[in-house]
Amino acid sequence: DAGVTQSPTHLIKTRGQQVTLRCSPISGHKSVSWYQQVLGQGPQFIFQYYEKEERGRGNFPDRFSARQFPNYSSELNVNALLLGDSALYLCASSLELLMNTEAFFGQGTRLTVV
């Protein structure tokens, strides 16, 4: 049974460009969350989606956007990239939106902005 899969695994972009990261949740999981993890720090919450609707948003600028598709996969888009956007972007899926539902993380996408 496949876990949470993210693509691509690594990405190098230039300042000002746009990037799209993809996440496929565990089969049957309806909720997907996105996190940004800068080296040496814990993950910071960006978005949570459930049943294709945004259900939570962290303190990130409008350059960050996301969506969830009918098959529950998700995309995270970042526009006008800055050097500070360089980080490991993690996707987590959970069965439901319930408070105590277990969340499973993907391997992450390492984004480097030069």
Partner 1 sequence: KNQVEQSPQSLIILEGKNCTLQCNYTVSPFSNLRWYKQDTGRGPVSLTIMTFSENTKSNGRYTATLDADTKQSSLHITASQLSDSASYICVVSDTNAGKSTFGDGTTLTVKP
* Binding residues for partner 1 (CB under 8 A): 4, 33, 35, 40-45, 48, 55-57, 88, 90, 92, 97-108, 110
Compare residues 15 and 30 and give the one whose CB is closer to partner 1.
30
Compare residues 15 and 96 and give the one whose CB is closer to partner 1.
96
Q: Are 25 and 106 contacting, i.e. CB atoms less than 8 angstroms apart?
A: no
- Cis peptide bond prior to 8, omega within 30° of 0: yes
- In this structure, the strands spanning 87-94 and 10-13 are unpaired
CB of 16 to partner 1, least distance (A): 26
Compare residues 16 and 54 and give the one whose CB is closer to partner 1.
54
CB of 80 to partner 1, least distance (A): 25
CB of 100 to partner 1, least distance (A): 5
Interacting residues of 66 by C-beta distance below 8 A, sequence separation 6+: 34, 46, 47, 49, 54, 74, 75, 76, 77
